[in-house]
Amino acid sequence: MQRTILLGFEPGMLSDAQIAQVRAAAPDMDVLVARDREQIEQVLDQVEIAAGGFPHDLIPRAHALRWYQQWGAGADWLMRHPEAVELDFVLTNASGVHPIQIGEHILAFLLAFARGLHHAVRAQARREWVPYREQEDIFELAGKTMLVIGVGAIGERTARVATALGMRVWGVRRSGGVCVPCCVEAMFGPDQLLDLLPEADFVVLTVPLTQETQGMIGERELRVMKPTSYVVNIGRGGVIQEDALIRALREGWVAGAGLDVFEVEPLPEPSPLWDMDNVIITSHRAGITPHYHERALAIFLDNLRRYRAGEMLRNVVDKRAGY
């Protein structure tokens, strides 16, 4: 039977030179570039390796599949397809592709709130010159405390940039303070979250969506935060209980929110978040960069070499844990 590598991309997403790199790395395998479902189904029994887009509901029928390199970091699709958890294939992700652009996106949210740019842009749309008023919330980032929930590669990069601006950075992750990354002053476990939130000026969520993190920020957590604090979420929308966040923003439990991800995407038109002056919305674009495919392809090619050599793959996802 023909051994096939499926590259799940639309035409033009990968260059001819990039596809040639894959073919050169596995000369004895057939390389198919396809995103069309019917085309994928025709070769499903031959697909040993898949990278990029792959219809998740087809995975249980891909009996030859041994390794799937997804092109993004989050593996929360496993929550919708639990049947894939028990299947005999290795799942790897593109962790390491995102720190630069997402770190800059987080910084953009912080600077916008600090300098009042979210108000300035709305005034510009109204062609309105708004003189500075003493009661306006203009402040400096230097001296502020950032709490990063989910300190992986993105959190560490964000901490480095924030520290350079004079901010203090604390981190939260499952393993707590076992290892303190560069530029993070101290690490804590999730059980200490309620003690940390009242001290934070910015709460930045970079955690994946799993059974453990779903809805981890709700009314209890938002109520203990400073009324001058801001929430920034670039992880997954389901990490925050959106109804509680809307109430917090309306009633002043927190000062504002920078949101790139939402419980339902696209964000429904009736959502109150659209009209809130203290909210900045971006449409799940924090991870976008013109360098995305080249960085993800580098991970895939390295893993392809490892796979063929029988070595441990990079970025293996624990399918049960979801990350």
Q: Respond yes or no: is residue 236 known to be catalytic.
A: yes
Contact 183, 156 (CB under 8 A): yes
Q: Respond yes or no: is residue 284 known to be catalytic.
A: yes
Q: Respond yes or no: is residue 223 known to be catalytic.
A: no
Annotated active-site residue in 136, 140, 212, 265: 265
258 bridge partner residues:
232, 280
Contact 171, 190 (CB under 8 A): no
How would DSSP label each residue in 165-209?
A: TT-EEEEE-TTTTSS--TT-SEEE-GGGHHHHGGG-SEEEE----
3 state SS of 316:
strand
Annotated active-site residue in 223, 284, 295, 306: 284
Annotated active-site residue in 48, 236, 242, 293: 236
**In Å, how far are 5, 197, 223, 318 from 201, measured between CA atoms?**
47, 9, 14, 33
Residue 137, φ and ψ in degrees, nearest 5: -85, 75
176 sits in the region (left: phi over 0; alpha: psi -120 to 50; else beta) called left
Residues with catalytic function: 236, 265, 284
